[in-house]
Every structure is written in structure tokens, then in C-alpha cells.
């Protein structure tokens, strides 16, 4: 089976002349959970948007299940960092949006709403839900179309710490049972290690490149509440942080005052 | 879903009306205001009543309503369509942008005589005038509504498989609807004004014609009576538009949920 996603020496230079990433190569095998971590402004989102087909590479090749990517990635679903639910549609209509656009029945959406625990809120509107609930609806929307690849851009960064831990645990259960391939972007190394099979470290921008690649050999299923106190977790964390630390310092040095962007 | 009016607001409105009408009526009766120039509220209302009872006003009101309705519908449909096309296509927007600005800067009143020549004394010269007014209001609001759609909503819908048509239906139109509606409220009033101005400048029927006739013989009571019919008409139409808007935008947080003074 070909890789779900393959980047071969991919670079992206924006029209403004800004070179976000340079010569990035990695492979996402089916049913794997891969995270990309890096300091703020390192071009993590650029990588994800290239994988989604929302951006096109300036150089290099992006392949999806063995085919060169042209236009939008039709086999992927994208969970955005920002709220992307349509405020004028009910919870159920939002969850079923992908199915409706493809002319399919909304049964799978109802099913996913039940799994994310929001069946009772089907007829509500997004503004009546909390941030965590809206994320669940967005996740149900993505998973209802049964994507071969799930792209996630810091999906939980706006949530409070407890909601976040719960969402991470549930995400692991859901993608575990559905066998979904995931490419996950975060600046939080603990989150990346806890969730992933493999963590890729991106250097500070501009011209970000991959500086490290770590196989996470923690056994599954992973109980996240206790995972972070395990010695093996700390060991992995120290090893990756060794690489990441330098990049974070470089990113801060480039932007005195520590102003984050991108 | 009727909006309830706060008793204090209602009381305030009644006080304003009573004071205004009372001063006018009293001033005219006490000789401070010359009834020839200012008429009297009681005389105006009895004229309104007389015209209603005799039924002479209905054909004129009907003509004005038809003109305003036609210019409102044609102008808004054209404005919404043009707003969507130019809002979605940067190229077309850039090409037509300056021409639309030029056309919009023309004072409509100077167009009225030209439309009279082109379309005659009947309703179509008034409709043409109304369309030129309504079109631009709706067009600019639709354009803004379409251009200010949250790009994340668009990307999300596209990733879920939306075609351009589906984007319009599920994302762009609902998103621009709030903008479009605020322009429709203004347009309703403007389409009526355009109809009356058109009639005033040259016609054989309509409320504007009645007002022009009354002015021609210095009949101020007749002029004010015409205005009363217009005001009543505008209030009814505004209430209808408000109802439709609340129905179509029912997904928005209710204003009642936000704290009010």
C-alpha cells in the first residue's frame, strides 16, 4: 500500500517572497499518527496546507496515496485551528455538511455526534455551544466523511487544559477505532509525544527544514492522565527537547520580545 | 416572534407624538402658525379620512406601490447578482470597479427627465429611476458581504468537497445575508422615495402626482395628507422586511440575550 502522504524535497516560497519551508521530505504511512512540532512561525501550517492542497509547492513533490497532488486533497479532511462551523447551520447540519456536499445521507453524522457525546445538541446552533463542544462537532464533521487522512492544525490550542486532555484522549480512541491516518500540528511537545507514533521537529523559520525525527515507542492504548509521569515519556521528551530547544531559542532571538506569528 | 417594546419607550414615543401634534394644532388654532402654509393636523387627518372614504386615493397609492415594488425587486436582484459576481472574481471586480463608482456618483434626480423621455409618463420611467437607486445600495452591501466572508469557513467547506455553486449556497449567501438585509431595509425606503420623486417630476397618477397637484394649487393640507399615506405605507413595508429578516437570520444570537439598558 502506498504512503498516505509523501513530501519529497518540498519548498514553499510565498508571493511576498517569504520562504517558509525548504527541502522538506517525510512520509506518512497509512494508519499512523504523525505530529510536527516546531517553534512559532516555523511553517508548520504551511506544511499542513500543502498536504491539504490549499497551497501548492514551489519546488518538490507532494504525493497522496502514490498520486501527485493536483488541486485539493480529496482524500483528506482538515480540522482547522479556528472555528470553522457554519453559524447558520444547526449542530447536526454542520456535522453532516461534508456528507450533504457529496450528496450522501446524514446517517454517519448522526452516528459521530453520538460518539462525541453531542446527540442531545443536534438542533442547537454553534453559538450555543462551548469551545470544546464546537471542536467535537468539527471533529464529527471531519470523521463523518471517512477521510483516509486527517489533517489537524493545533486543534486544541484554544481549549482549557482539562477540556484539552479529555479531547486528546477521545481523539486517540476515535482515530484508533476508525484506523484513521493523522498528520497533527502542534507547538506543544508533550501533546505531540502523547498522541503520536512519530514526531517530526521543524526548525525555526524562515526556510524551515526538518531537524529531527523520533519514533515514539510508548505502548497503546495510552492512558494520557498517567502517561506523562512515566519514565519512558520523560526520556523521549528530554531527547526531543534537546533538538527543539535550540530552535525555540533561535525563533525567540529572531523576534526580540518573543512576538509570535504564523 | 414579535419584539416587545419596553413600556418606557412606548410612553416616550406617545409623549413625543402628542407634544408635536399638540403644538402644531394649538399653534395653528392660536394663530402662531399660518394655516395656509402649515395647515393643521386635524384638517390633514380629515382630508386623509375623506380620501379614504371616497376611495380616490387607492388607485394612486396602488400605482406608487407597484412602482416601488418593481424597482425594489428588480434593483435588489440585479444588485445581489452583480455583488456576487464581482465579489467572487477579483478580475471582474477590478475591471468594473471604477465604472460602478462613476455610475454611482451620478445624482439620480438628473436622470429622471432622461428616463421620462426614454420610458414615457407611465410607471416604467419611475421603475427605472428606482432601480438605479436600489441597485447600488444592494450591490455595495452584497459586495462587502461576499468579500468579508471568513476565509476559514470557505476553506473548510472546500476541503469537505464543496463546488463553487455549493459554496455560494451554503457559505457565501448565508454569510452575506446580514449585509444584504441591512441594505434591503434602506432600499425599501429609497425605492418609495424614487417612485414619488419620479411621479412628482412627471406623471399622471401616484402619490407623488397627488402631492404635486396639491402643491400646484397651494393646498398644504393635500400635501401633508399625501405624506401621511406615504408614512403609513413605509411603516407597513419596514415591518414586513423586519419579519422576513428575523425569519431568515434566526440562527443569530437573539438581541434579547444581550444585556439591555
Instruction: State whether residue B152 sits within 8 Å of chain A by CB.
Output: yes
Q: Is A12 exposed, middle or buried (0-12, 13-18, 19+ CB in 10 A)?
A: buried
* Per-residue pLDDT, B113: 87
Higher pLDDT, B77 or A163: B77
Confidence of residue B254 (pLDDT cuts 50, 70, 90): low
Average pLDDT in chain A: 88
Provide the Cα torsion A159, A134, A78, A57; round to 10°: -60
Distance to chain A for B160, nearest Cα, Å:
5
Are A127 and A88 within 8 A, CB to CB?
Answer: no
The Cα of A81 is separated from the nearest Cα of chain B by a number of Å equal to 9
Residue numbers in A near B163 (CB within 8 A): 101
> Between chains, do A84 and B171 touch, taking CB under 8 Å as contact?
no
Q: With bands split at pLDDT 50, 70 and 90, how would you rate the model's confidence at B255?
A: low
Whether B259 has a pLDDT exceeding 50, the answer reads: no
* Alpha helices (H) in B89-122, listed in sequence order: 90-105, 108-119
Q: How many CA atoms lie within 13 A of B205 on its CB side?
A: 16
- Hey, which of A50-59, A201-210, B249-258 has the most confident mean pLDDT? A50-59
Q: Per CB distance under 8 Å, which residues of A are interface residues toward B? A: 52, 54, 72-74, 76-78, 80, 82-84, 86-90, 97-98, 100-102, 125, 127, 141, 145
- Residue A259 clears pLDDT 50, i.e. is over it: no
A101–B155: do the CB atoms touch at under 8 Å?
A: no
Judge whether B118 and B125 are in contact, CB under 8 Å.
Answer: yes
Question: What is the tens place of the pLDDT at every residue in B107-143?
Answer: 888 888 889 889 988 889 899 999 999 999 999 999 9
Mind listing the pLDDT tens digit for each residue in B15-58?
A: 999 999 999 999 888 888 887 888 888 888 998 899 888 888 88
CB contact under 8 Å between A101 and B171, yes or no, is no
Number of CB pairs, chain A paired with chain B, less than 8 A apart: 59
Read off the pLDDT of residues A105-134 as tens digits, 9 standing for 90 and up. Answer: 888 899 889 988 888 999 999 999 988 899
Domain spans of chain B, in order of start: 57-253
Q: In A89-160, which ranges are continuous DSSP H helix?
A: 91-95, 97-101, 107-115, 131-144
B79, pLDDT greater than 90: yes
Q: Quick one: pLDDT at residue B258?
A: 41
The model's pLDDT over B161-197, given as tens digits with 9 standing for 90+, comes to 999 899 989 999 888 888 888 888 888 888 998 999 9
- pLDDT given for residue B235 in this prediction: 86
Question: What was the pLDDT predicted at A255?
Answer: 56
**pTM, whole model, 2 decimals?**
0.76
Distance CA A70, CA B217 (A): 75
> Looking at beta carbons, which residues of chain A come within 8 Å of B162?
101
At residue A8, the 3 state secondary structure works out as: strand
Question: What number is the average pLDDT over the span B198-215?
Answer: 87
Distance from CA of A224 to the nearest CA of B (A): 29
pLDDT of B244 reads: 84
Q: Any idea which architecture B57-253 has in CATH?
A: Orthogonal Bundle (1.10)
**pLDDT given for residue A39 in this prediction:** 84
User: What is the rounded average pLDDT of the residues B87-113?
Assistant: 87
> Nearest residue on chain A to B253, judged by CA atoms?
A127
How sure is the predictor about A262, in pLDDT bands with cuts at 50, 70 and 90?
A: very low
CA distance A42 to A45: 8
Q: Is the pLDDT of residue B1 over 60?
A: no
From B170's Cα to the closest Cα of chain A, the distance in A is: 8
Among chain A residues, CA nearest to B170:
A86
Sheet architecture: strand order including A19-28: A19-28, A5-13, A59-64, A67-68
Quote the ipTM score: 0.86
B216 membership: H or E segment, kind and range: helix B207-216
Q: Do A80 and B152 touch (CB under 8 A)?
A: yes
Assigned superfamily of A1-75+154-262: P-loop containing nucleotide triphosphate hydrolases (3.40.50.300)
Average pLDDT over chain B reads: 87
**Given the C-alpha cell 485551528, which residue does it identify?**
A81
State the pLDDT at residue B215: 85
Confidence label for A76 from pLDDT (cuts 50, 70 and 90): very high
Per-residue model confidence (pLDDT) at position B157: 94
Q: Where are the domains of chain A?
A: 1-75+154-262, 79-146
Least confident of A29-43, A226-240, B179-193, B244-258: B244-258
Q: Does B171 touch chain A (CB under 8 A)?
A: yes
| Closest chain B residue by Cα to residue A147 | B160
State whether B162 and A101 contact (CB < 8 Å).
yes
Query: How deeply is B73 buried, as exposed, middle or buried, from its count of CB atoms within 10 A (0-12, 13-18, 19+)?
Result: middle
**Looking at residue B179, what is its pLDDT?**
86
Considering only CB atoms, A127 lies closest to which of B177, B249, B253, namely B253
Q: What is the pLDDT of residues A197-225, one digit of tens each?
A: 999 999 887 888 898 899 998 888 888 88
Amino acid at each position: 500500500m502506498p504512503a498516505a502522504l509523501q513530501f519529497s524535497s518540498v519548498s514553499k516560497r510565498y508571493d511576498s517572497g517569504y520562504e517558509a519551508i525548504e527541502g522538506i521530505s517525510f512520509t506518512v504511512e497509512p494508519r499512523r499518527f504523525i505530529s510536527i512540532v516546531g517553534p512559532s512561525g516555523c511553517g508548520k501550517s504551511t506544511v499542513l496546507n500543502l498536504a491539504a492542497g490549499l497551497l501548492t509547492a514551489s519546488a518538490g513533490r507532494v504525493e497522496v496515496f502514490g498520486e501527485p497532488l493536483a488541486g485539493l486533497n480529496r482524500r483528506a479532511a482538515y480540522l482547522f485551528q479556528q472555528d470553522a462551523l457554519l453559524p447558520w447551520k444547526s449542530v447536526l447540519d454542520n456535522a453532516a455538511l461534508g456528507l450533504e456536499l457529496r450528496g450522501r445521507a446524514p446517517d454517519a453524522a448522526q452516528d459521530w455526534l453520538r460518539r462525541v457525546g453531542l446527540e442531545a445538541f443536534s438542533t442547537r446552533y454553534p453559538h450555543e455551544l462551548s469551545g470544546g463542544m464546537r471542536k467535537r462537532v468539527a471533529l464529527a464533521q471531519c470523521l463523518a466523511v471517512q477521510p483516509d487522512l486527517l489533517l489537524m492544525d493545533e486543534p486544541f490550542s484554544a481549549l482549557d487544559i482539562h477540556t484539552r486532555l479529555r479531547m486528546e484522549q477521545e481523539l486517540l480512541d476515535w482515530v484508533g477505532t476508525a484506523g484513521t491516518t493523522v498528520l497533527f500540528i502542534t507547538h506543544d511537545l508533550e501533546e505531540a509525544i502523547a498522541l503520536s507514533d512519530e514526531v517530526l521537529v521543524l526548525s525555526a523559520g524562515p526556510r524551515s527544514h526538518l531537524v529531527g525525527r523520533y519514533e515514539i515507542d510508548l505502548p497503546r492504548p495510552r492512558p494520557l492522565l498517567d502517561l506523562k509521569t512515566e519514565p519512558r515519556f520523560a526520556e523521549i521528551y528530554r531527547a526531543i527537547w534537546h533538538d527543539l530547544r535550540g530552535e525555540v531559542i533561535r525563533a525567540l532571538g529572531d523576534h526580540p520580545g518573543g512576538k509570535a506569528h504564523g | 416572534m414579535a419584539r416587545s417594546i419596553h413600556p418606557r419607550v412606548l410612553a416616550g414615543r406617545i409623549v413625543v407624538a402628542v407634544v408635536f401634534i399638540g403644538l402644531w394644532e394649538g399653534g395653528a388654532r392660536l394663530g402662531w402658525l399660518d394655516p395656509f402654509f402649515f395647515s393643521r393636523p386635524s384638517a390633514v387627518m380629515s382630508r386623509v379620512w375623506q380620501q379614504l372614504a371616497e376611495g380616490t386615493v387607492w388607485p394612486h397609492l396602488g400605482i406608487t406601490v407597484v412602482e416601488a415594488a418593481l424597482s425594489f425587486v428588480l434593483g435588489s436582484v440585479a444588485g445581489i447578482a452583480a455583488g456576487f459576481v464581482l465579489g467572487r472574481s477579483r478580475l471582474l471586480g477590478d475591471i468594473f470597479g471604477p465604472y460602478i463608482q462613476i455610475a454611482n456618483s451620478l445624482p439620480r434626480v438628473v436622470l429622471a427627465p432622461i428616463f421620462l423621455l426614454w420610458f414615457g409618463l407611465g410607471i416604467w420611467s419611475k421603475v427605472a429611476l428606482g432601480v438605479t437607486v436600489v441597485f447600488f445600495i444592494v450591490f455595495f452591501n452584497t459586495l462587502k458581504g461576499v468579500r468579508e466572508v471568513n476565509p476559514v469557513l470557505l476553506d473548510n467547506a472546500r476541503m469537505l468537497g464543496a463546488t463553487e455553486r455549493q459554496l455560494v449556497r451554503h457559505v457565501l449567501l448565508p454569510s452575506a445575508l446580514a449585509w444584504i438585509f441591512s441594505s434591503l431595509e434602506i432600499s425599501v425606503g429609497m425605492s418609495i422615495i424614487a417612485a414619488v420623486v419620479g411621479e412628482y417630476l412627471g406623471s399622471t397618477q401616484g402619490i407623488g402626482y397627488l402631492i404635486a397637484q396639491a402643491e400646484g394649487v397651494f393646498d398644504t393640507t393635500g400635501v401633508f395628507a399625501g405624506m401621511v399615506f406615504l408614512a403609513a405605507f413605509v411603516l407597513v413595508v419596514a415591518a414586513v422586511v423586519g419579519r422576513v429578516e428575523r425569519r431568515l437570520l434566526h440562527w443569530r444570537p437573539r438581541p434579547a440575550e444581550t444585556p439591555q439598558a
